[in-house]
């Protein structure tokens, strides 16, 4: 990606009281800058980041997810960091053996996945601990565990958990304990095929839409899917409360779907596809969209798949993309440089719906990145930004509850087993 002169750096400034106390001096300096152009912002960032990067070299690794708001992805790339999807992010501690300090500008579950696969001497930090994923927030361990206990009592070891990457380490550990695996939108089909081949009932958490899409991809019809509720409702739902018909449907199902979802991806509708197709656009969607949208589109896949579509496009091509708004904006800017037109699929005049960005990811911005790196450089990174496996994060305050070391080790062991199964199946499928 390119930073070009006068390109705005961040679309919205956060209010000062959104920053943790230690970061406020950095935020005050940033907010006092006269504008958000690279010509102004980069020298300010250079003053902090360059000395730290010179000091640490490859011991310091900067990471961001494709969905980051504003131009932060370009800034992370500008300072030698890496932009990736959640699968690639999870592997970064392993792939960068020299990295001792890993600074992630994205959401908590991604940082925790990196920490799960990291060595004990590799420290992982998140630039804003209040950056959570709303889908994951309706699928915390305290929501899922009662449902899991009920299902386990009925089906025992004939059931396994498949946990989408958008889950906490504790939920991934649940998958690991049952012999299950983690999956991402890029490998969910291969992981589901692997799981179905074992003939067990699959408890798929947390995204009901991806769950339905993967069932469609792997030939599990709707009558073999059972929809559990999400969030608090899912926690209160019990097998013993089900009537005889629902109980039979549960017994007959091959996949039980937890009821969470991503608000960013559920605004899309099949009619939007027709609108853009009529205008000559090819329509590509993310599989967190409702299944009827995925079935109607010209193609569906992970953020990496969608970015690859941009890289493979030819001058004159037109693509309508249904995914997170900041990603589409960045893709549109890059595509314009090669004569390709990209639109956000929900951006249809008068359609009553708008394409939106992931608001929680956008809580990471230049002052958060600068403050985090500078405080690591000074040797006093705040503990609230330090990510350990099994942490329970309150996304409103950023406060984290931390497990004792022996409990942390146990969660890490099971969550790592589930992640490792994902890696093994994915790499096998690629070779």
Residue closer to ligand SF4, measured from CB, 89 or 389: 89
Each residue 153-192 as x (binds ligand SF4 by CB under 6 A) or -, in order, gives -------------x--------------------------
- Run of H or E including 330: helix 325-336
Find the shortest distance in angstroms from Cβ 59 to ligand SF4: 28
Window 216-235: contact mask with ligand SF4 (x via CB under 6 A): --------------------
Our finding on whether 73 is near ligand SF4 (CB under 6 A) is: no
Options 121-129, 130-138, 198-206, 343-351: segment touching ligand SF4 (CB under 6 A): 130-138
Report DSSP letters for 404-422, one per residue: -HHHHHHHHHHHHHHHHHH
Residue with smaller CB distance to ligand SF4, 200 or 326: 326
Residue 62 binds to ligand SF4 (criterion: CB under 6 A): no
- Identify which of 216, 214, 225 has the alpha carbon closest to the alpha carbon of residue 186: 214
Among 89, 159, 264, 283, binds ligand SF4 (CB under 6 A): 264
DSSP 93: H
Q: How far is the CB of 164 from ligand SF4 (least distance, A)?
A: 9
Helices (H), 121-264: 134-137, 141-155, 169-177, 188-196, 208-218, 231-236, 244-252
* Binding flag, residue 124, ligand SF4 (CB under 6 A): no
Q: Which of 211, 126, 44 is nearest to 395 (CA)?
A: 126
Among 104, 112, 317, 324, binds ligand SF4 (CB under 6 A): 324
* Interaction of residue 285 with ligand SF4, rule CB under 6 A: no
Contact with ligand SF4 (CB under 6 A) among 48, 66, 67, 307 = 67
Using CB under 6 A as the binding criterion, the count of chain residues that bind ligand SF4 stands at 12
Nearest 5°: phi and psi at 168? -75, 170
Q: With contacts defined by CB under 6 A, name the span among 129-137, 195-203, 226-234, 328-336 that binds ligand SF4.
A: 129-137
- Spell out the residues 6+ positions from residue 91 whose beta carbon is closer than 8 angstroms to its own: 117, 423
> Alpha helices of 237-280 — where are they, by DSSP H?
244-252, 270-278
Q: Interface with ligand SF4 includes 134 (CB under 6 A)?
A: yes
List, in order, residues 6 or more apart from 416 with CB less than 8 Å away. 116, 117, 176
358 is a site residue for ligand SF4 (CB under 6 A): yes
DSSP state, 197?
T
107 binds ligand SF4 (CB under 6 A): yes
Beta-carbon count within 10 A of 305 CB: 16
Residue 226's SS3 state is strand
Interface residue list for ligand SF4 (CB under 6 A):
67, 107, 133-135, 166, 262, 264, 324, 358, 360-361
């Amino acid at each position: 990606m390119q930073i070009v002169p006068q390109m705005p750096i961040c679309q919205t400034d956060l209010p000062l009281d959104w920053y943790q106390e230690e970061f406020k001096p950095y935020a005050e300096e940033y907010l006092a800058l006269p504008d958000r152009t690279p010509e102004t912002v980069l020298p300010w960032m250079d003053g902090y980041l360059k000395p730290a990067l010179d000091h640490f070299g490859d011991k310091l690794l900067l990471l961001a997810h494709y969905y980051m708001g504003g131009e932060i992805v370009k800034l992370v790339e500008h300072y030698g960091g890496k932009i990736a999807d959640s699968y690639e992010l999870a592997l970064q501690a392993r792939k960068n053996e020299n990295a001792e300090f890993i600074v992630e500008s994205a959401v908590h579950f991604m940082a925790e996945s990196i920490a799960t696969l990291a060595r004990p001497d590799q420290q992982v930090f998140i630039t804003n601990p209040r950056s959570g994923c709303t889908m994951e927030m309706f699928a915390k361990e305290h929501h899922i565990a009662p449902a899991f206990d009920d299902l386990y009592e009925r089906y025992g070891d004939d059931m396994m958990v498949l946990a989408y990457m958008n889950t906490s380490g504790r939920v991934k550990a649940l998958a690991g304990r049952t012999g299950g695996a983690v999956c991402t939108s890029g490998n969910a089909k291969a992981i589901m095929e692997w799981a179905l081949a074992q003939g067990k009932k699959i408890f798929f958490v947390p995204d009901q839409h991806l769950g339905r899409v993967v069932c469609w991809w792997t030939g599990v019809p709707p009558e073999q899917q059972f929809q559990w509720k999400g969030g608090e409702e899912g926690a209160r739902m019990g097998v013993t409360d089900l009537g005889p018909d629902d109980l039979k449907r549960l017994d007959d199902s091959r996949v039980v779907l937890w009821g969470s979802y991503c608000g960013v991806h559920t605004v899309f509708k099949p009619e939007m596809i027709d609108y853009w197709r009529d205008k000559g656009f090819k329509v590509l969607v993310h599989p967190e969209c409702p299944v009827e949208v995925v079935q109607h589109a010209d193609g569906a896949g992970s953020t990496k798949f969608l970015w690859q579509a941009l890289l493979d496009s030819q001058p004159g091509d037109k693509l309508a993309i249904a995914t997170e708004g900041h990603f589409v904006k960045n893709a549109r800017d890059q595509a314009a440089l090669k004569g390709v037109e990209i639109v956000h699929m929900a951006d249809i005049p008068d359609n009553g719906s708008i394409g939106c960005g992931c608001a929680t990811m956008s809580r990471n911005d230049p002052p958060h990145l600068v403050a985090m790196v500078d405080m690591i450089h000074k040797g006093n990174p705040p503990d609230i930004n330090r990510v350990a496996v099994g942490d329970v994060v309150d996304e409103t305050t950023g406060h984290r509850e931390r497990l004792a070391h022996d409990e942390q080790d146990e969660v890490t062991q099971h969550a790592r087993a589930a992640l490792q199964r994902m890696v093994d199946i994915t790499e096998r499928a690629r070779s």
